[in-house]
Amino acid sequence: MKNNLMITTCIFFVMCLLSLLGVAKASTNQQDQSALQVTQTKWLMALDAKGSPARRFRELQLVAKDMFKLSRAHPKDAELKAWTGVMLSSLAVAKKVGSGEHLAFSAQRMLESAQALHSGILDQSHLANGMSAREALKRALAYNPSRLDVNVYYSAFLTEQNINMLATNTKERLENATISSQAVIQTVN
C-alpha cells in the first residue's frame, strides 16, 4: 500500500512536471510567433517607407537585425530562417550600387537553410495580409538601387517569370552588375 502511494505520487509529480514544461514551451512558441508578426509588420512598413534611400536602408537594416537575432535564437525554425532570408534580401538590394553582394549571399544561405528544414516553407509561411514568403521575396527584390543581379542569388527561389520581370525592371543596370556578382561567387567558392 505504501509503495502504491509512493508510485502514484511519483507518477503524479512527473505528469505535473511534463505539463508545466509543455505550457512553458507553448508560451515561448507564442512569444516567438508574436515577435515574428511584429517584425514582419515593421518590415512591410520599412519596405514601403517614403523618403531618401539612406533612410529606407536604415529602417530595413533595423528590422533585418531584429529578425536575424530572432532566427539565431531558434536555429531549427524554418519559418524564422525563411523570413530572415527575405528581409536580408530586401536589405541587400537597398544598399548602394555594387555593395549588396555579401548580404545577398547571406540571404541566399538563409533561404536554402529554411528550405532544407522544410521544403515548402516559402509558400506555406504567410504575412498577416496573406502574402507568402516567396511573394514577399519578389516584392523585396523589386526595389533594387544596388543593381544586384537577382538571378545569381535568388533564381532557385523564384519562378522564371518573376526573374524575367525583375530583370526587365533593371535590365541595363543588371548587365553591369553581373561581372561583380560573378567575381564574388568565385571568391566565395
pLDDT tens digit string along 118-149? 988 999 998 888 999 999 999 988 888 888 88
Is there a contact between 116 and 64 (Cβ–Cβ < 8 Å)? Answer: no
Is there a contact between 93 and 141 (Cβ–Cβ < 8 Å)? Answer: yes
Which position has the higher pLDDT, 66 or 9?
Answer: 66
Write the single-letter amino acid at 42.
Answer: K
pTM: 0.69
| Closest to 104 (Cα-Cα) out of 84, 122, 88, 124 | 88
Class of domain 34-188: mainly alpha
Grid coordinates in use for 69? 537575432
Is there a contact between 119 and 73 (Cβ–Cβ < 8 Å)? Answer: no
Report how far residue 100's alpha carbon sits from residue 93's, in angstroms, rounded to the nearest whole number.
6
Domain edges within the chain: 34-188
Out of 2-11, 84-93, 143-152, the most confident range is 84-93
Give residue 88's pLDDT: 93
